[in-house]
A = this chain, B = another copy of it.
């Protein structure tokens, strides 16, 4: 509670009612993959009365502060990941399934980068069937 407010303040975010509720849900210790819609549903279930616009704003604010990762899965919707360590994913479009790959997956044999470019990050997506 108090720690959540401090957590937000230490990330240059005013601890508003809405942000506290969202942070409490997202950062409860369990890694989560959320879309704006899924998060909004959960918040409605909890009768928080937080608007969808605020859900979008807050996810974006948290992402900007590095508290969330944004997942590029070529979906329609954007996923935010509370696990901000470098990691990869199993992913099934059909099932809306997203599972962290937290172990020491390695990519080797990369060619040299295009001139004047540097690698930002390497993203591996293991697409699943069935």
Q: Does A53 contact B (CB under 8 A)?
A: no
Identify which of B75, B97, B101, B120 contacts A110 (C-beta below 8 A): B101
Identify which of B108, B117, B120 contacts A106 (C-beta below 8 A): B108
Binding-face segment, A3-11, A21-29, A42-50, A66-74: A66-74
Instruction: Check A122 against B117 for contact (C-beta < 8 Å).
Output: no
In the assembled complex, how far is the CB of residue A6 from the closest CB belonging to chain B, in whole angstroms? 32
Instruction: Check B119 against A129 for contact (C-beta < 8 Å).
Output: yes
| Residues from chain B with Cβ under 8 Å of A107 in the complex | 105-107, 124
| Residues from chain B with Cβ under 8 Å of A103 in the complex | 109, 111
Task: Give bound CA distance, A90 to B115, whole Å.
Answer: 12
Instruction: Check B124 against A128 for contact (C-beta < 8 Å).
Output: no
With CB as the reference atom, state the residue of chain B lying closest to A79. B74
Instruction: Check B114 against A123 for contact (C-beta < 8 Å).
Output: no
| Residues from chain B with Cβ under 8 Å of A105 in the complex | 107-111
Instruction: Return 23 A-B CB contacts under 8 Å, by A number.
Output: A71-B74, A72-B73, A73-B74, A74-B74, A74-B78, A90-B114, A99-B114, A101-B110, A103-B109, A105-B110, A106-B107, A114-B128, A116-B130, A117-B128, A117-B130, A119-B126, A119-B127, A119-B128, A121-B127, A122-B126, A122-B127, A123-B124, A125-B125
